[in-house]
Structure 1
């Protein structure tokens, strides 16, 4: 693909274009603000927000940061995650955080709706964030 123009080498000074996408920035900002307000006890959130907001924003944030690293390692701004990698990431996070961690610690509880939230976040990443980050 080197001669096709699709593969682009990352040059020094190139901005992290992936982090400027509205869905990533919004997910990170919403999660950060939520955590600050939750930990400060300034706002009381409904149960469905405290139960599922972190799980919904987890995958777009995690996958975008992982995509940034992968693109820098391969020096290819056009790289996108294949769908099977996204399914594997969703399964991994679901099994670890909803299957294994609750068995190791009574502080955590397994919730099938968390798996759905991870799936929705992965789907949002797939549709809106898993695109080439080529500078204009």
Structure 2
């Protein structure tokens, strides 16, 4: 049997997570909508969803990539999971930076305190369903 290089390509466990790829797809859809995408005029695409969806998805996507990096390059342990204090710290940093600091220095960015709740919801989604030890 010939050695097929494509069959050897296998995504790490963190990046095979269905919630991760669902989040990537929804994030890309929401970004295209913010730029006048094809679903913008459909009545089922609510304005709140368009405004808050990327904020809910931010932490799960970022933390999944961070978990992958920490497992692969830093701890080298597939069973490593991010401690709740790290997830909380990422939420706090994201909320302070994007809703407190950056809007003070940029006229194109506005602070929206609903986003802080959206970041928290994203952190909870990651902690509850995505921050699991890898199956080896």
Question: What's the TM-score bracket when you normalise by the shorter of the two chains?
Answer: 0.7 to 0.9
Mind listing any 5+ residue stretches in structure 1 that lack a counterpart?
A: 1-11
Q: What is the aligned partner in structure 2 of residue 30 from structure 1?
A: 26
Mind listing any 5+ residue stretches in structure 2 that lack a counterpart?
A: 1-7
Q: Deviations over 1:89-111 (max 9, x none)?
A: 10000000000110010111111
Compute the displacement of 1:20 (Å). Answer: 1.2
Q: Higher relative contact order by CA 8 Å / sep ≥ 6: 1 or 2?
A: 1
CA RMSD of aligned residues (A): 1.7
TM-score by length of 1: 0.84
- The count of residues paired between Structure 1 and Structure 2 equals 124
TM-score by length of 2: 0.84
**Counterparts of 2:108 and 2:36, CA distance in 1:** 20
Compute the displacement of 1:24 (Å). Answer: 1.0
Q: What is the aligned partner in structure 1 of residue 3 from structure 2?
A: none
Q: Would you say the 8 A contact 2:33–2:50 is kept in 1?
A: no
